[in-house]
Amino acid sequence: MRRRSGTICLAFCLGLGACAGTRPQQAASGLLTIDRLTEIRHPSQPTWSPEGARIAFVWDQGGVQNLYLVASSGSAREAPRRLTSYEAGSVDNLFWSRDGQKLYFVHDGDLWNITPSHADAPQPVWTTKEVEDQVVPSPDGTKVAFVRGGQLGVPDWQRSEGDLYVRSLGDGHETRLTNGEGVVAGPSWSPDGKRLAFA
Report the predicted TM-score, pTM, of the whole model to 2 decimal places.
Answer: 0.74
Own/partner pairs, 77-81, CB within 8 angstroms, 24+ separation: 81/116
pLDDT in tens, 161-183: 789 999 999 999 999 999 988 88
Annotate 49-82 with b (16+ C-beta within 10 A) or e (fewer). beeeebbbbbbbeeebbbbbbbeeeeeeeeeeee
Sign of CA dihedral 86, 71, 123, 166: negative
pLDDT in tens, 104-121: 999 989 999 999 988 789
* pLDDT tens figures, 64-106: 899 999 998 876 567 889 999 999 988 999 999 999 999 999 9
Q: Across the chain, which distance is largest between two alpha carbons, in Å?
A: 61
191 contacts: CB under 8 Å, gap ≥ 6: 139
User: What is the DSSP-derived secondary structure letter of residue 34?
Assistant: H
DSSP annotation of 198: -
DSSP characters over 92-154: EEEEE-TTSS-EEEEETTEEEEE-TTS-PPPEEEE--SS-EEEEEE-TTSSEEEEEE-S-TT-
Residue 82, helix vs strand vs coil: strand
Tell me the sheet residues that pair with 145. Answer: 136, 166
Please count the residues of the chain. 199
DSSP state of 6: H
Confidence of residue 9 (pLDDT cuts 50, 70, 90): very low
